[in-house]
Structure 1
Amino acid sequence: MNPHNIRLVALDMDGTLLHEDKHISRRTLQVVQKLADAGIRVVPATGRGLDGLRGTILQVSPICHAICSNGAAIQDPASGAVLEETPIPIPEAIRLLEYYREHPLFFYLHTSQGPIRPEGWKESGLAARFPYLRFDTSTVPDLIQWLRGTDASLWKIGVFPHSDQAFREMLREGSPLPSMKLMRTGECNIEINSVHASKGNALKSLCSRLDIPMSSVLAIGDNQNDIEMLRFAGVSVAMGNAQEDVKSAARFVTGSNEEDGAAEFLERYFGG
């Protein structure tokens, strides 16, 4: 079942385990459950917050750790407890949002108190473009004012540009502040984290905590926020739908997420 002594499998969600309509297939769940039953630690490694994993990979049991918000938080899925975090400093986040205030961009926050979104998202048209997201919860009148009054940790700033042009310009310019990094995480998604937060760093820290060498880790991903994790893992797999820079960081390339490429690779690698 495990001829390569893999002890932990780190799995991205969107574009990897999940189809484009954001569902996880029965086949994928069955394959991942077999790994968990065999004693291999299954760790979701995602840009999503913990709530975004419910109804998908958390149908597998046991899952004792989740790398969330692009590695800014390692959490216990059962209790929600934060084991480690690498937050964005609040003053820096306020500076960033003030810098982009007049740009055609929609922002949301991942925090230790859950997701925070500004009012008016329904009117933006984003709810129709992203029906799997809940735009009617945890809304506040103004993100900057909310940040000034909160004691929560800020893990991630997410961005939905209004247009393809705004998306391309933001990626081309990069982060306006050296304390933060900006990443493409989808066809029209940009996410901002502390420069010290990454799925790769979180995976290394978790493996150190669990006394698992990186050579015994298998990781699968599809996007820019997965590259460091793929480079650190002993066995790295890029999805067929991944960008070329992600594929070049991986040892193997499998089928697309629509083809259950992650499940296909795991079936072949672990022998059924």
Structure 2
Amino acid sequence: GRSYASLAGYILPLFPPEALHIVASGGQIVSSRGQVVWEKLIPHEKVVFLAKEIEKRGAYFIFGQKDILYASASVVPNLLKHPWGIKADSANTLKDWSTPLISVVSINDGVRNFLGSQKDLNAEEIVTGYKPAYFDITAKGVNKGTAAKIWAEKQGILLKDTLAIGDSVNDIELMRVVGASAAMGHAIDEAKKAAQITIGTSEEDGLAEYLEKLLG
């Protein structure tokens, strides 16, 4: 569910420039070079409101615009140390905070209760086996599954001919709309139940081994 800004400097350059990617937990579809072909934004006023309420409850927010992550000021130094070479800055430098995805870290029950009350948004707590739980917030009705339908239409691809691989709750809707699905070995139980098969963990090079077998 990462923003384009998280992937721009390290992952996406490995793909052809014209390749299309679902990013921001389904809130945006971009080319490898960052050209936006579709997006559903959370409006500026709503993002500002959420950010204030999140920080008031002791948590921190992060969101992307183009190739920069904007965040609570105290989070920026850690983002700049990321091995993927992420660009980051304080959100206070922005005039327009609209974004397809807001991530919330250092969460607590106060944050959970607050986000649960925001019925005009899709707020999912993301639990994985390799980092602390966090929230991804997108516009209402937006997820990787809805984005996959748009992604496929724009390329003339049938969803029944696509494969999805995931490990968390935000991958489940995607797994339900594609033709084939696999859960990583470290995936949460709900993702494993939604997937057709379970493969090895990241530490076991599960994805690489699976793709090698699949592609012969």
| Bin of the TM-score, shorter chain as denominator length | 0.7 to 0.9
Is 1:201 equivalent to 2:155 in the alignment?
no
Q: What residue identity is the alignment partner of 1:239?
A: M
Distance 1:50 1:217, change over 3 A: farther
Aligned pairs for 1:56-67 within 5 A: 56=11, 58-61=13-16, 64-67=19-22
Question: Could you say which residue in structure 1 is the equivalent of 2:181?
Answer: 236
Question: Could you say which residue in structure 1 is the equivalent of 2:190?
Answer: 245
Aligned residues of 2:10 and 2:85 also touching (Cα < 8 A): no
Q: Find the partner of 1:192 among 137, 152, 156.
A: 137
Q: What SS does the aligned partner of 1:196 have?
A: coil
Is 1:105 equivalent to 2:56 in the alignment?
no
Cα displacement (A) at 1:244? 0.3
* Larger deviation, residues 226-235 vs 98-107: 98-107
- TM-score normalised according to structure 2 size: 0.84
Question: Could you say which residue in structure 2 is the equivalent of 1:7?
Answer: none
Question: Could you say which residue in structure 1 is the equivalent of 2:171?
Answer: 226
Cα displacement (A) at 1:141? 3.6
Cα displacement (A) at 1:112? 4.3
Question: Could you say which residue in structure 2 is the equivalent of 1:90?
Answer: 44
Distance 1:140 1:216, change over 3 A: closer
Q: What residue identity is the alignment partner of 1:110?
A: G
Distance 1:63 1:247, change over 3 A: farther
CA RMSD after TM alignment: 2.7
Q: What SS does the aligned partner of 2:164 have?
A: strand
Question: Could you say which residue in structure 1 is the equivalent of 2:35?
Answer: 81
Aligned residues of 1:96 and 1:176 also touching (Cα < 8 A): no
- TM-score normalised according to structure 1 size: 0.68
Distance 1:207 1:72, change over 3 A: same
Distance 1:257 1:108, change over 3 A: same
Is 1:71 equivalent to 2:26 in the alignment?
yes
Unaligned stretches of 5+ residues in structure 1: 1-45
Question: Relative contact order, CA 8 A, sep 6+: which one is greater?
Answer: 1
Aligned residues of 1:215 and 1:233 also touching (Cα < 8 A): yes
Q: Flag the structure with larger Rg.
A: 1
Aligned residues of 2:18 and 2:32 also touching (Cα < 8 A): yes
Question: Percentage identity across aligned positions?
Answer: 23
Cα displacement (A) at 1:199? 1.3
User: Cα deviation per residue 1:149-175 (whole Å; 9 max; x = unaligned)?
Assistant: 32x64111111116xxx1x55446643
Q: May I ask how many residue pairs the two structures share in their alignment?
A: 211
User: Cα deviation per residue 1:162-209 (whole Å; 9 max; x = unaligned)?
Assistant: 6xxx1x554466432111122233433221111222111111111112
